[in-house]
Amino acid sequence: MAAVPAIDYNAMRDEDFRHQVRSFFETNYPEQLRFLPRRVRMSEISGWWNTLYEKGWIAPNWPHEWGGMGLEAGKMVIFLEEMERHGIARPADQGITQVGPIIMKYGTQAQKDHYLPRTRSGEIIWCQGYSEPNAGSDLANLQTSAVIEGDVFIVNGQKIWTTLAHDSTHIYLLVRTDKEAKKQKGISFLLVDLQTSGITIRPIRNIAGHEEFCEVFFDDVRVPRDVLVGKMNEGWTVAKALLGFERLNIGSPRRPQYALMRLEMLARAKGLFADTGFLDRFIAIKLDLEDLAALYGRYVEQVKRGEPLGQDVSSLKIWAMEAWQRLTELLVEAGAEDGVIEGAHDIAGVEIDFLSPFYYARPATIYGGSSEIQRNILSKYVLELPS
Ligand SMILES: Cc1cc2nc3c(=O)[nH]c(=O)nc-3n(C[C@H](O)[C@H](O)[C@H](O)COP(=O)(O)OP(=O)(O)OC[C@H]3O[C@@H](n4cnc5c(N)ncnc54)[C@H](O)[C@@H]3O)c2cc1C
């Protein structure tokens, strides 16, 4: 790719930046991939990745030095809002959002030079290998081990729920490197090529019939010692460095607002507003989304002011995910007999898929920290209740 000139987007007026982003998305994003009710596969979205890469927009959060847009928080929020507004699917972008910034902060120069350009171009696609069968909410209980032998680590164990591992070339792993140390203390952070001998990837089919995540098995996998990021046994600090911004993004009201729009279309087409029971529930959920938009707006303003997000942002995730679930439940019910039949249905000339949004919303109260864990955080750090 020819070098894209570094533009100072932060110097633009917010309205001008928003307009530029919006019109680029509207002109270039494939129509058939808008508002997908499932995770998109790389085979479908690699063209869009290349379009963003050519434009110099694939890594909005990265600094210019590494080929990113160098967006400050306020502009970043606008970029993400416009993505959501247009229903742009999220590819396997953990390299851009997670591991790239981690390598920039904790990686060696050799790691930066090797991984960062390839991550941006899409030559390297990353997946996140944190969770294990007995280490989810209690992640520090992870048991996958890495033992040093001469110049290599030997990795043994199993990861699970690894989103899009089968579309990825590399995995970033949390492994136990000291079994004696207290839980968080003996964990290290490794970058592993999924082609390495001894790795088996087994896709898991979810309730909607999609293979979005996988099990990944490590059987005497030998990787060079220079795949360690940061110091030995300090992987927990490395992994925790980046959890802030994601918690805001996950609370965006756009996805449920789109589902609400479909529900409203359906209700009008079928005359459901004449049913006062339905009307009550519709109004309640519409107001829930208004509350969500207001809450989200408050946190956006906080980020724009450059203030870090506190633990109270857990309330945003709970409200966003639980309202989205309630809404998609109502959509299925409103679809009556069609509501439980998969695929798109023609309702008075409008195509509505009832089950896919319902299925898509189900795991939302689990990933990114379950609702129970978010409530624990609120009770401990915000309400300061005794535990
Ligand atoms: C769609 C999806 C994609 C995912 N992608 C990835 C990925 O790419 N990489 C990755 O590493 N992981 C991924 N995960 C895994 C995710 O991080 C875990 O599912 C999550 O951390 C919960 O862990 P668990 O499934 O082991 O459930 P558990 O931790 O076993 O929890 C089971 C239930 O107990 C509750 N619970 C647990 N502890 C407490 C407590 N202390 N107090 C109150 N209630 C509690 C939970 O809320 C939950 O309801 C993904 C999960 C999903 C659903």
Give 65-132 as a 3 state SS string: HHCCCCCCHHHHHHHHHHHHHHCCCCCCCHHHHHHHHHHHHHCCHHHHHHHHHHHHHCCCCEEEECCE
> What is the position in ligand 1's atom list of the atom closest to the CA of 206?
1
Mean pLDDT by 10 residues, the chain (387 residues): 75 97 98 91 96 96 94 89 90 92 95 98 97 96 97 98 97 96 94 98 94 97 97 94 69 87 91 96 96 92 84 94 96 93 86 91 94 96 92
CA of 50 to the centre of ligand 1 (A): 33
What separation in angstroms does the CA of 271 have from each of 260, 268, 354, 362? 16, 5, 17, 28
Residues spanned by the domain of 189: 126-240
Q: Does the CB atom of residue 172 touch ligand 1 within 6 A?
A: no
Q: Does the CB atom of residue 363 touch ligand 1 within 6 A?
A: yes
Do 147 and 275 lie in one domain? The reply is no
> What is the position in ligand 1's atom list of the atom closest to the CA of 159?
11
> Looking at residue 371, which CATH number applies to its domain?
1.20.140.10
Final residue in a domain of this structure, among 224, 240, 256: 240
Protein residue with least CA distance to atom 26, ligand 1:
136
Does 35 fall in a domain? yes
For residues 251 and 75, what is the distance between their CA atoms, to the nearest angstrom? 17
Final residue in a domain of this structure, among 212, 240, 268: 240
Do 217 and 270 lie in one domain? The reply is no
Do 253 and 374 lie in one domain? The reply is yes
> Looking at residue 52, which CATH number applies to its domain?
1.10.540.10
Give the mutation target among 161, 317, 325, 376 for probing the ligand 1 site: most ligand atoms within 8 A of CB: 161
As to burial, measured by CB atoms within 10 angstroms (0-12 exposed, 13-18 middle, 19+ buried), residue 38 is middle
Do 234 and 248 lie in one domain? The reply is no
Does 117 fall in a domain? no
Do 358 and 257 lie in one domain? The reply is yes
Q: Is 215 a catalytic residue?
A: no
Do 231 and 277 lie in one domain? The reply is no
Does 118 fall in a domain? no
Do 249 and 207 lie in one domain? The reply is no
Final residue in a domain of this structure, among 91, 115, 136: 91
Q: Does the CB atom of residue 204 touch ligand 1 within 6 A?
A: no
Amino acid, res. 225: R
Protein residue with least CA distance to atom 32, ligand 1:
137
As to burial, measured by CB atoms within 10 angstroms (0-12 exposed, 13-18 middle, 19+ buried), residue 31 is exposed
Does 111 fall in a domain? no
Do 193 and 219 lie in one domain? The reply is yes
For the chain, the domain total comes to: 3
Q: Does the CB atom of residue 376 touch ligand 1 within 6 A?
A: yes
Does 99 fall in a domain? no
For residues 151 and 225, what is the distance between their CA atoms, to the nearest angstrom? 6
Does 288 fall in a domain? yes
Protein residue with least CA distance to atom 21, ligand 1:
136
Does 100 fall in a domain? no
CA of 376 to the centre of ligand 1 (A): 14
What separation in angstroms does the CA of 363 have from each of 91, 212, 357, 372? 18, 12, 11, 13
Do 285 and 330 lie in one domain? The reply is yes
* Token pair belonging to 85: 């507004």
Q: What is the pLDDT of residue 250?
A: 82
With CA atoms as reference, report the closest residue to 97 among 115, 120, 123: 120
Q: Is the CB of residue 102 less than 8 Å from the CB of residue 229?
A: yes
> What is the position in ligand 1's atom list of the atom closest to the CA of 127?
8
The helix/strand/coil state of 55 is: helix
Do 55 and 32 lie in one domain? The reply is yes
Give the mutation target among 38, 325, 370 for probing the ligand 1 site: most ligand atoms within 8 A of CB: 370
Do 159 and 250 lie in one domain? The reply is no
Residue 150 is given by DSSP the state T
Q: Does the CB atom of residue 136 touch ligand 1 within 6 A?
A: yes
Q: What is the pLDDT of residue 308?
A: 83
For residues 328 and 321, what is the distance between their CA atoms, to the nearest angstrom? 11
For residues 265 and 315, what is the distance between their CA atoms, to the nearest angstrom? 30
CA of 132 to the centre of ligand 1 (A): 9
Do 160 and 55 lie in one domain? The reply is no
Q: What is the pLDDT of residue 2?
A: 46
CA of 371 to the centre of ligand 1 (A): 10
Does 105 fall in a domain? no
* Token pair belonging to 186: 């003996």
